[in-house]
C-alpha cells in the first residue's frame, strides 16, 4: 500500500491568526519529528505567505502551495463578502469548493485546523476550535453569525471527524450541532514555546530596553478581539491601584484589531498609560523572551477553544491566573488561580493575591510545571496520526489503538 498522504490546511497570513497559527506551527514541528511511520504530510500554504511556517517543516513534512495566491483569495473573499451583504443575497458564497490543489497532489486525508475550510470529496478532519458566535452573539453582526453557521455546519456535516481540544468544547459541538458523539473527538494541544528560538541574555536586555519593560509585570499575550476581555482586565488593575495603592505593570503583546481603539481609550480614561503597554505583534523569539521576563500570566478571556498561552506559561514556569470561561478549567486543572471573566472585583482580588504573595506564585509555578507534563506536542502529533490512519482506512498500530482509547487530559 502506498504511504498515506495527509494535507494540513495552513493558508494563513503571518501574524493575523494568533493561536490558530501557533497550533499549526506546533503540529508541523511535531509531525516533522515522527520518523517511525511512512506517512507524508503536506502543509497547504500560500507561496508568498509561508515564511512563518517553512522553518518548522522537515522530515516527512513539506509545503504544498495553493494554486491561488493569498492576494487572489483575499480579493475574491472581500468581493464575495460585499455581494453577500446585499439584500436578498445572503451567505451563498460562504462555503467555497476546493481549487483542486489537494486532489492533484493525491491527498488521502485532509485536515482543516482552520475554521474556514473548503469542500472536497477527500475524507476530512475538521477542527473549528469554538462556537463563540452562538454564545457571545453581541460580538457578531447578523451577517457574521449567519456566515459562520453556514461554514461550520457544512463542514461539521461533511467531515469524517470533528476535533475539539477540550471536553467542554466537544460537548458544545455535540449539543449545539446535534452531532453524533462518536463523530466528535478531543485532541489537546501543547506548548509551542520551545519550538521558538531561545533568546540570549543580550536579546532579553534589548527586549527589556526597547519595550521599556519594568523589573516585574503581568503578561497577557492576545490579539485585541472583544472576547479577549482586555477592558475588564484593565478595570481590575485600576481597581487594585485605587483600593490598595498597588501598581501592577501590564504588557499585552498581540496584533491590534479594530477593537484596539476602544481599549486604548480606556487605558487613558483609567490613568494606566504609564504602566500598561500594547506593543503589537512580536516575533516568536520576542514572545519567548516575554515569557522568560514576566512575573505571571493573566488570562481573562471570555471564550476559548483551548487557551494556548496558559500551556505556554506552564511550560515557561510562570504562575497563572485564568478565567473560568468555557474549557479553561479543563486546561488549567488545579494549577491556576481562577476568576469569573465578567466579575471585575473577583478578578482584582485574585490578581492582587498573585502580585503580592511570593509563596503563592511559587506554589502555582510548581503546579503549572506538573500540569505542563500532561500536554505535549509529540502526543498531539501521534494522536492526530492515529486519527489520520483511521480516517484514511489504514492499519492501526498498537500505539494508535492505545492513544485512541485513552482519556484526554483536558
pLDDT at 56: 96
pLDDT tens, residue by residue, 235-276: 999 999 999 999 999 999 999 999 999 999 999 999 999 999
What pLDDT is attached to residue 16? 62
Give CA–CA dist 399/378, Å, rounded.
13
Distance CA(336)–CA(43), nearest Å, equals 35
CA distance 4 to 186: 22
Below-50 pLDDT ranges, the chain: none
Query: Positive or negative, the Cα torsion across 322, 325, 328, 333?
Result: positive
| Torsion of the alpha carbons at 347, 352, 358 and 360, rounded to the nearest 10 | -30
| Unique residue bearing C-alpha cell 478578578 | 347
Please report, for residues 258, 301, 305, 334, the alpha-carbon distance to residue 272 in angstroms, rounded to integers and kept in the order given. Answer: 20, 20, 30, 31
Show the CA angle centred on residue 284, arms to residues 74 and 148, nearest 5°.
35
The cell for 118 is 473548503
* Domains, the chain, ordered by start: 5-190+376-405 (3.40.50.2000), 198-372 (3.40.50.2000)
Q: Among residues 164, 160, 181, which one has the least CA distance to residue 389? A: 160
Q: Are 12 and 37 in contact (CB under 8 A)?
A: no
pLDDT number for residue 70: 62
d(CA 137, CA 228) in angstroms, rounded, equals 15
Instruction: For residue 311, give the 3-state DSSP assignment.
Output: helix
Task: Tell me the CA distances in angstroms from 202 to 18, 196, 206, 221, 256, one per residue in order.
Answer: 27, 17, 6, 22, 27
Per-residue pLDDT at 74: 63
Burial classification of residue 312, based on how many CB atoms lie within 10 Å of its CB (0-12 exposed, 13-18 middle, 19 or more buried): buried
Cβ 326 vs Cβ 304: under 8 Å: yes
Q: What is the predicted pLDDT for the residue at 75?
A: 65
Amino acid at each position: 500500500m502506498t504511504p498515506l498522504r495527509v494535507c494540513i490546511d495552513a493558508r494563513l497570513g503571518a501574524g493575523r491568526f494568533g493561536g490558530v497559527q501557533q497550533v499549526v506551527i506546533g503540529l508541523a514541528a511535531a509531525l516533522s519529528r515522527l520518523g517511525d511511520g511512512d506517512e507524508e504530510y503536506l502543509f497547504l500554504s500560500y507561496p508568498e505567505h509561508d515564511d512563518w511556517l517553512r522553518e518548522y517543516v522537515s522530515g516527512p513534512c513539506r509545503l504544498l502551495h495553493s494554486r491561488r495566491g493569498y492576494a487572489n483569495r483575499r480579493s475574491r473573499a472581500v468581493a464575495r463578502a460585499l455581494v453577500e451583504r446585499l439584500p436578498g443575497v445572503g451567505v451563498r458564497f460562504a462555503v467555497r469548493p476546493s481549487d483542486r490543489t489537494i486532489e492533484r497532489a493525491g491527498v488521502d486525508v485532509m485536515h482543516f485546523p482552520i475554521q474556514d475550510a473548503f469542500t472536497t470529496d477527500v475524507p476530512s478532519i475538521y477542527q473549528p476550535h469554538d462556537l463563540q458566535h452562538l454564545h457571545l452573539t453581541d460580538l457578531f453582526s447578523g451577517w457574521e453569525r449567519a456566515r459562520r453557521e453556514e461554514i461550520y455546519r457544512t463542514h461539521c456535516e461533511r467531515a469524517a471527524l470533528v476535533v475539539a481540544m477540550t471536553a467542554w468544547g466537544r460537548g458544545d459541538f455535540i449539543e449545539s450541532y446535534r452531532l453524533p458523539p462518536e463523530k466528535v473527538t478531543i485532541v489537546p494541544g501543547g506548548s509551542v514555546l520551545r519550538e521558538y528560538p531561545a533568546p540570549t541574555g543580550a536579546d532579553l536586555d534589548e527586549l527589556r530596553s526597547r519595550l521599556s519593560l519594568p523589573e516585574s509585570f503581568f503578561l497577557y499575550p492576545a490579539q485585541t478581539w472583544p472576547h479577549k476581555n482586555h477592558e475588564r482586565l484593565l478595570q481590575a488593575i485600576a481597581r487594585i491601584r485605587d483600593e490598595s495603592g498597588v501598581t501592577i505593570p501590564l504588557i499585552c503583546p498581540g496584533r491590534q484589531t479594530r477593537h484596539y481603539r476602544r481599549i486604548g481609550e480606556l487605558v487613558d480614561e483609567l490613568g494606566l498609560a504609564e504602566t500598561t503597554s500594547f506593543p503589537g505583534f512580536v516575533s516568536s523569539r520576542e514572545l519567548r523572551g516575554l515569557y522568560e521576563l514576566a512575573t505571571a500570566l493573566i488570562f481573562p478571556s471570555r471564550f476559548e477553544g483551548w487557551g494556548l498561552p496558559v500551556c505556554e506559561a506552564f511550560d515557561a514556569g510562570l504562575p497563572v491566573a485564568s478565567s473560568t470561561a468555557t474549557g479553561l478549567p479543563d486546561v488549567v486543572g488545579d494549577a491556576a488561580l481562577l476568576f469569573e471573566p465578567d466579575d471585575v472585583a473577583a478578578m482584582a482580588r485574585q490578581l492582587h493575591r498573585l502580585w503580592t504573595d511570593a509563596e503563592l506564585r511559587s506554589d502555582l509555578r510548581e503546579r503549572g510545571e506538573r500540569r505542563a507534563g500532561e500536554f505535549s506536542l509529540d502526543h498531539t502529533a501521534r494522536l492526530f496520526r492515529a486519527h489520520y490512519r483511521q480516517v484514511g482506512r489504514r492499519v492501526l498500530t498498537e500505539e494508535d489503538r492505545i492513544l485512541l482509547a485513552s482519556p484526554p487530559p483536558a
